[in-house]
Structure 1
Amino acid sequence: MQKNNSPKDFIFGIRAIIEALRAGKEIDKLLIQQDLGKSVLMGELLELAKIHQIPTQRVPIFKLNKITAKNHQGAIAFLSQIDYVSFENILQSTFEKGETPLFLLLDSITDVRNLGAIARSAEGLGVHCLIVPEKNSAQINSDAIKTSAGALHHLPVARVKSLLQAVKYLQEAGLQVVACTEKATQNIYEIDFSIPTALVMGAEDTGIATPILKQCDKLAKIPMQGKVDSLNVSVSAGIVLYEVIRQRAE
């Protein structure tokens, strides 16, 4: 869902950020000076950030100074360029419409261009909701939106505290959860994607976290014939999603 703010919108100053949160502004990430002393206002800000489940990172002051030369008081917040959704609500509405759910979860995809490219394929190939973790995930910024060719303004995106818990919720709701990984013995053409499905894609270097892999119902891989045995994660996502659509069109 699109917002009208500038691609580089951020706010700084403890009080300003507190008031933005109270006004209902959606904040993508909060940076706090790591050696900043405790104060009542800072305690209030951190409590609000916790309530609103905003990813918060402690950083050295020079990083904040690089973002703005103005008096930031040790706090800078980046305004989200999209409105995040509840994947539970999207799932419910998908079933109510009589559609077969197709959800995509991204584990540790930290490159914004990969995220944007995956979102472009996901929106074009009928994914109902993209699910990303609060931490260890690429920020949905202007680069991600540009790479997605604007798809991130149309594709529902949910940000969750725990991907593992999201996987369990989807399973309880009747979806099969398929991890796309080179560790699989089955390939994607052997999986029945005609039923409600959630796909999990992991980073190229670290893959999908072991607890999530163990929780998934099935593991599947893209069969390779060349000497290079792996693909860029955005390319892999497009291939797997197309196989889902191909099966569902039969």
Structure 2
Amino acid sequence: MSAQQILFGFHAVTVRLKTAPQSVLELHVDATRRDQRMRSFLDKAREAGVKLVESDDARLTKLAGAPRHQGVVARCKALVQQHSLDDVLDGVEGPPLVLVLDGVTDPHNLGACLRVADGAGANAVVAPKDHAVGLNATVAKVASGAAETVPYLMVTNLARTLGELKERDIWVVGTSDQAEKTLYELDLKGPVALVLGAEGAGLRQLTAKTCDELVRIPMQGAVESLNVSVAAAVCLYEARRQRGC
């Protein structure tokens, strides 16, 4: 039997209906919700030919594992990740832009990072298998569809993967509150991988040592650091700004 996954929320389910409607086994919807957003969503679902099941809030919450399902929960076949990091990078036109997350275990943070990566045009998000959260329903909900569009690649050995990126002439830039240089002193127009650690813990020692350069995001107020998804947005969009698009 093939692996299954649960997606919930309008954005996450709508993207799956667009990208892989055949993988949606059944779509549970709130039988009491009849607003314009739900009517428009149901039209798309019927057009995609998926099986619709009217459900109550209790059943939807149980299926989603969370109360904030927006009245939409899909039971789907899990999509098999077909791409390795090499496959992704081989298909990139122009200088690659990669986001690397070291130790991000909160699904809300990962979902937000994937959403930022999609918006900034990052080619992939990379994380270690043993220090990261996988793609689950909460990640997909927070990512608002980006979990379906941005390759999320979990690797066995992060330091080795960073070394492989460097062999491809991709500049590996890590973030650290203790770094002397700021992000804005770097030229990020070339091939670059931006490496961020979990909020509070930061980069692991080996990860930091493997980076070509460490930089900090300048902080002017009382707080010492940014949430990792906010930091990812600052870094990725600075690279995008420098690239002129």
Same fold (TM over 0.5): yes
Task: Give the Å deviation of 1:81.
Answer: 5.5
SS in 2 for 1:7: strand
Distance 1:89 1:162, change over 3 A: same
Match of 2:127 in 1: 132
Taking the TM superposition and a 5 Å limit, the aligned residue runs for 1:196-215 are 196-215=191-210
| 1:41-70 deviation digits (Å, cap 9, x = unpaired) | xxxxxxxxxxxxxxxxxxxxxxxxxx9xxx
Q: Unpaired segments of 5 or more residues in structure 2?
A: 8-64, 66-76
1:228 and 2:227 equivalent?
Answer: no
Task: Give the Å deviation of 1:92.
Answer: 1.4
Match of 1:89 in 2: 87
- Give me the whole-angstrom Cα distance separating, in 1, the residues matched to 2:90 and 2:81: 18
- Give me the whole-angstrom Cα distance separating, in 1, the residues matched to 2:200 and 2:78: 27
Residue among 146, 153, 159 paired with 1:151: 146
Moved more, 131-140 or 106-115: 131-140
Q: TM-score, normalising length from structure 1?
A: 0.66
- Give me the whole-angstrom Cα distance separating, in 1, the residues matched to 2:143 and 2:149: 10
Task: Give the Å deviation of 1:156.
Answer: 1.1
1:113 and 2:108 equivalent?
Answer: yes
SS in 2 for 1:201: strand
Residue among 160, 163, 174 paired with 2:155: 160
Taking the TM superposition and a 5 Å limit, the aligned residue runs for 1:4-23 are 5-7=4-6
1:114 corresponds to which letter in structure 2?
N
Taking only aligned residues, the RMSD between alpha carbons, in angstroms, comes to: 2.1
Contact in 2 for aligned 1:85/1:157 (Cα 8 Å)? no
Distance 1:7 1:81, change over 3 A: farther
Distance 1:168 1:234, change over 3 A: same
Q: TM-score, normalising length from structure 2?
A: 0.68
Distance 1:232 1:81, change over 3 A: farther
- Give me the whole-angstrom Cα distance separating, in 2, the residues matched to 1:82 and 1:182: 37
SS in 1 for 2:6: coil
Task: Give the Å deviation of 1:223.
Answer: 0.6
Count residues with an aligned counterpart: 176
Distance 1:130 1:82, change over 3 A: farther
Q: Structure 1 stretches (4+) deviating beyond 3 angstroms?
A: 3-6, 79-82
